[in-house]
Amino acid sequence: MHILLTYPNIGTRNGPHYPHGVGSLAAAATAAGHKVHVRLLEQMPDREQWQAILDESQPDLHACSFGSHQWPYARELMTWTREDEIPTLAGGVHATFAAEQVLAADVCDWVCVGEGEDALIDLANGMKPREIANLRGYDFTNPPRPLIADLDELPVYGRRHFPMEEITRVNGGEMTALIGRGCPYPCTYCCNAAWRELYRGQAWVRWRSLDHLFAELDLLRSLYQVDSFYFEDDIFTLNREFLDGFLEQYPRRFGVPFRAYLRIGSVERDDLRRLRDAGLVMANVGIEHGDERMRVEVLGRKMDNEQIVDFFDWSRELGIRTRAFHIVGVPGETPATLQATRKLCRRVAPDEVQVSLFEPYPGTKLYRQCLEDGSFKGIERDTYFDEQAAITLVDFPEDELIATYHAFCDEAKEIEDHAFVLALQYRRRGEIDLVAEWSPDCVQQMGAEPVARKRVRFGNDERFCLFTHPRSLIAYDIPPGRYRFRAGLALDPICLNWGGGGARFLVQVDEQLLLDRMIDPKHNEQDMGWTDVDISFTATAPTTLRLLTQPESDDLTALWALWGHPHLVWEGDA
Ligand code: B12
Ligand code: SF4
């Protein structure tokens, strides 16, 4: 059977990514002998474009996967598919926990409640829908089937139905993977508690074996350019036995950096050190709320502010970058409690700050509560980074909440900048670090984009950089002395797959040209990564050191030049 698997990722602001659930369905259906066509939709097609997709794949079945924010798009796509009389199955987290709503819209034939691999295969194999466990129709609700207890039974899959080259390219060479499924914590805003409830009596939290995981990572590395991995599981460190094995074997077998989600309270400083030594370069963590009472009583997250502060301090000391998530406008929020979140965020200064407006997801405790107390407005938002709140708050007028949310988002940029400087202080190398010494006053000329500071990594080599869009001129006043100027020159990896040419990097002291170097990795492979330069010079009087970048040609497309860890080493008096 030809199965068209679709995943609308429209309006989420997430960018193209590999959806693990859809991948697992594609792998399972293919292994069962079916012909799978996957379409990841980043923009809503119009009716004609959708028809072209249907005509191209000629599906016998349309299987659509979506979360709550994407339900309105999925609804439209399924309506159009039905006009062509193609049977349609809806599945995923929204269909699972809002099955009534999906069926009430009357846009598909069946809904899959829960894990979908075997249900999809049964349907594709021609079994009667009424006999397929997990399926719901308009006049029947079949019993659930057991969870897949052993995840190693699932195929090791090379993701060939997905545009993986494009996905890894736009994500800077990062390849995502899962080490298991599920999370055991009771957070009231998250679907994990709902999944656990659905599968009560069974082990919702499961892990793959290391062998199964590593076989997948090996396969992915053999098929695609993988510079780092990103383990997108809810919490990476839950299974200590798995973790110990991973930390021991991963660096030897793979040796590329990785990123993961951690939970404050379930990792100590030494765990972080071991993770860092194995390659963890970035930890994603939920702070969610700064008011301890709200965090525990409303969100169901048992952790105190002291633990949160410790976690960020440890990470900074160990050189692990952090990305922290915050939710604003949760039930019971007041201006004072939101202020507490901003205050804590400022205190811990994550390297990346994400602020979102609360959304009550079907199946969660807070969803039920917001329905019962009448605060749920019932609006459809395609993202939680929105201009509208999903619920009405008694003590926080909506216009004030939205204004404070925006103020927090603006403040987040300042916090990230502060985090950059703090991280730099820990990592400071070289006697005069020109990234640390930099201020906007040093910029005497800049191109289409502002000169800024940025952390950039090629493989394992991350550097604090000056980021410029040629033509640019950055100047520093320096005292007399004998110096060495050292830096790594590169074009930002995010521009490598675009057109355009290279950049010339020039260093001048006292009008004397010390360096004139062209870097053009788009046409010259050996310019990929950092090109290190080391130049000696003497300044007999106070002088100006100038770092210039120039475009090679008039084509300035994606020409982002980096001075990686530029610094001066003091070698003595002139
Ligand atoms: C990894 C992850 C991501 C990744 C990758 C997304 C992905 N789809 O893989 C990224 C970072 C990109 C992401 C983004 C977002 N995420 Co997210 N994410 C997760 C996480 C942690 C794991 C998802 C996963 O891979 N599970 C493992 C796979 C195997 O399970 P699955 O996807 O549920 O699929 C199975 C079944 O649902 C079913 N199924 C799925 N689709 C279909 C279709 C058919 C036809 C059938 C038959 C069955 C079926 O079968 C699959 C295999 O068993 C979950 C939390 C969780 N534990 O589920 C949150 C979660 C899915 N995310 C969530 C949210 C809110 C988001 C964002 C909106 C956040 C944002 N920044 O805007 C976006 C939305 C992106 C999108 N287009 O949907 C919510 C969704 C809540 C909801 N009701 O919609 C969750 C549940 C977390 C939470 N808060 O509770 N996410
Ligand atoms: S710890 Fe994270 S993934 Fe686990 S239940 Fe809480 S919010 Fe969900």
What Cα–Cα distance (Å) separates residue 30 from each residue in 155, 160, 161?
10, 11, 10
Looking from the CA of residue 190, the nearest atom of ligand 2 is: 8
* Nearest protein CA to atom 3 of ligand 2, as residue: 234
- Tokens found for residue 499: 């057109």
489 within 8 A of 564, measured Cβ to Cβ: yes
**pLDDT, tens digit (0-9, with 9 covering 90-100), for 267-276:** 999 999 999 9
Please tell me the least confidently modeled range out of 236-245, 279-288, 420-429.
Answer: 420-429
558 within 8 A of 449, measured Cβ to Cβ: no
**pLDDT, tens digit (0-9, with 9 covering 90-100), for 94-118:** 999 999 999 999 999 999 999 999 9
What are the pocket residues of ligand 1 if the criterion is a CB atom closer than 6 Å to any ligand atom?
9, 12, 14, 17, 19-22, 24-25, 63-65, 67-70, 89, 91-94, 96, 112, 115-117, 119-120, 178, 181-183, 190-192, 232, 234, 361, 383-384
CB 88 near ligand 2, within 6 Å: no
* Nearest protein CA to atom 1 of ligand 2, as residue: 185
pLDDT at 245 over 90: yes
CB 263 near ligand 2, within 6 Å: yes
State what percent of residues in the chain have pLDDT above 70. Answer: 100
* Nearest protein CA to atom 6 of ligand 2, as residue: 187
Q: What is the pLDDT of residue 498?
A: 78
Q: Over the chain, what is the mean pLDDT?
A: 95
- Tokens found for residue 438: 């930099």
pLDDT at 203 over 70: yes
Q: Which domains does the chain have, with CATH numbers?
A: 2-136 (3.40.50.280), 151-425 (3.20.20.70), 432-572 (2.60.120.1060)
* 61-65 and 110-112 beta bridge pairing: unpaired
pLDDT (average), residues 148-153: 97
Helix 240-253 to helix 210-223 angle, to the nearest 10 degrees? 30
Q: What is the pLDDT of residue 73?
A: 97
* 88-91 and 110-112 beta bridge pairing: parallel
For the chain, count helices (H), then strands (E). 16, 25
DSSP annotation of 146 reads P
Task: Between 362 and 556, name the one with better pLDDT.
Answer: 362
Q: What is the pLDDT of residue 402?
A: 97
* Ligand 1 pocket mutation, candidates 44, 65, 167, 356, criterion most atoms within 8 A of CB: 65
CB 288 near ligand 2, within 6 Å: no
321 within 8 A of 282, measured Cβ to Cβ: yes
pTM over cut 0.85: yes
Whole-number Å distance, alpha carbon 66 to ligand 1 midpoint, is: 8
What whole-number distance in Å separates Cα of residue 372 and Cα of residue 192?
21
Which pLDDT band, with edges at 50, 70 and 90, does 454 fall under? very high
